[in-house]
Every structure is written in C-alpha cells, then in structure tokens.
Amino acid sequence: MAIAPQDNSAFMREVDEEVRKEQAVQFWDRWGKWIAGLVIIGLAAFGGWLYWSNQQTSAAEAEAEQLSMLLEGLSDGTNTDVEDELSALAESRRPIIRAEALLTQAALALQGEDRARAIEVFAVIAADDGLPQQFRDIATIRQTAVEFEDMEPQAVIDRLASLAVPGNPWFGSAAELTAVAMIRMGDEEGAGALFAQMANDESVPETLRTRAVQMAGVLGVDAVPDEPVDMEEQTVPNQPLAAETAEEASS
C-alpha cells in the first residue's frame, strides 16, 4: 500500500532525526571527552582569573589602607617610625601606591634635613616611566627646588622647559623657578615677562600669582591682572617658594 505524501514527509523527518541523533552520538563518542576536558580547563582558567583578580584587588586595598594609616600616623604624630613600611610600599607594583610612598619618603628626608636623600628619591620618581606623569612632574619640580642653590641657572631652565609653559598643571611652580634662574643669568626682561604670564594666568594658584605680581614689579614690569589677586600673604601646600631667592639674586 502506497504511503500518503503527508505520511511520507513525517517518515522522512523521523529518519532525518534518527540520523542526526546517531551522528551526534558518534561525534560525542569520538570527541566528547576532549570537549569536556576543554570546558573544564576553560572553567578552571576562568576561576583562576577570578581568584587572581580578587587577590589583586584585595592586595591593592590592603596597601592603600596601610599607606593611609601611615600618613595619618605621621600627620597626628602617633607613628613616626615608618621607614621600613614605606620602603616596602615604595616597591609596590601599583604605580600610585609606589609614587605616594616615595614622595612621603622624600618629604620625611627634607623634614630631617637630609637634602641628599630627598634629591635622590625625587630623582627616582622623576625617572620612573611606570608612574603617572603628574607624579613624575611634581617630583622634577621638587627636586629642582631642593637643589636649586647648587644648580647652574641654565640647567634649571633646561630641566623645567617642558613644564614652565602655560596650560601645564605645574606651570606656576615651574615658571617661578625658571624666572629666578633667568634673573641669575642676567635676563631680567625675560624673567619679568614670565612673572607677568604667571600673574595673569587664572589657573596658577593665587599665592604664586601674588608673588609673581610682586616680582614683576621689582623687575619693572606692570603685571597687575585685570582682576587683581588678593595681595595678602597666603599659604599653599607643596609649592616651591623661590621668590626669596629671586629677591636676593636681583639685589
């Protein structure tokens, strides 16, 4: 008896499904163990990556907390014996932790009047291309400020050339040191112009702008900005104070 077309179609689908099942079984018999092994390896690798990532995060948090506690202890005077811990953090693989620890070491060296040690640490920071540029730049400025008296004026100008330009975050500090070096070289006109630039740059901290107005005036340059800055004495942390040196050099 002939099979009706619709029955024939259903029969062919059944055959096709059975063939696919048989092929799948054969494929799994041949490759299943390998596939399962690869899946397990992949899961293990992913699990290992998650564990490593968690460990890295935990280690970073631990170092950050340790550094924070050290700085707090130094600030309130409850912990001043921190050199060993700082030395360990200064070897951290995490750039910001390493930079902060090194800057703290340099600051402590200055506090202890160990200029040579401070200069050495600042130089290490400035030369470390694994650190964020802003840390390297401030280290360059601080190193220059500390050893300013022992440097040739042209060496100061050359070292700070890329920083003493408008638009740079450290323009004010770098320009002040550069201008004083210019005075020492006898370039009072150039120094006055640079002080005037500082005085009229609103991105420069107000204390530096105030000193720039004063120094430009000493050099015969009217640098009073359109919106005068507050001429009262102010204090801005971590800014090199070079104006006193400039006054001595210009006298």
The most confident of 20-34, 92-106, 149-163, 201-215, by mean pLDDT: 149-163
How high is the pLDDT of residue 101?
86
Distance of CA 220 to the CA centre of its chain: 39
**C-alpha separations of 146 from 11, 78, 159, 202 in Å:** 93, 28, 14, 26
Q: 89-115, pLDDT tens digit by residue?
A: 888 888 888 888 898 888 888 888 999
Q: 187-243, pLDDT tens digit by residue?
A: 999 999 999 999 999 999 999 999 999 998 889 888 676 665 554 444 333 444 444
User: Domain extents for the chain?
Assistant: 67-146, 150-251
Please compute, for residue 190, the number of CA atoms within 13 A of its CA located in the half-sphere on the CB side: 14
DSSP label at residue 1: -
Please compute, for residue 31, the number of CA atoms within 13 A of its CA located in the half-sphere on the CB side: 7
Helix axes 95-111, 133-146, angle to 10 degrees: 10
Q: How many CB atoms are closer than 10 A to CB 188?
A: 17
pLDDT(244) > 50: no
Q: How far apart are CA 70 and CA 73, in angstroms?
A: 5
Q: Identify the H or E element spanning 91.
A: none
∠ CA 122-123-129, nearest 5°, is 105
Rg (CA), the chain: 33
Residue 212 · residue 204 · CB < 8 Å: yes
pLDDT(185) > 80: yes
**pTM tops 0.75:** no
How high is the pLDDT of residue 37?
52
- Length in residues, the chain: 251
Tell me which of 24-28, 40-44, 147-151, 155-159 is least confident. 40-44
Q: How far apart are CA 183 and CA 10, in angstroms?
A: 100
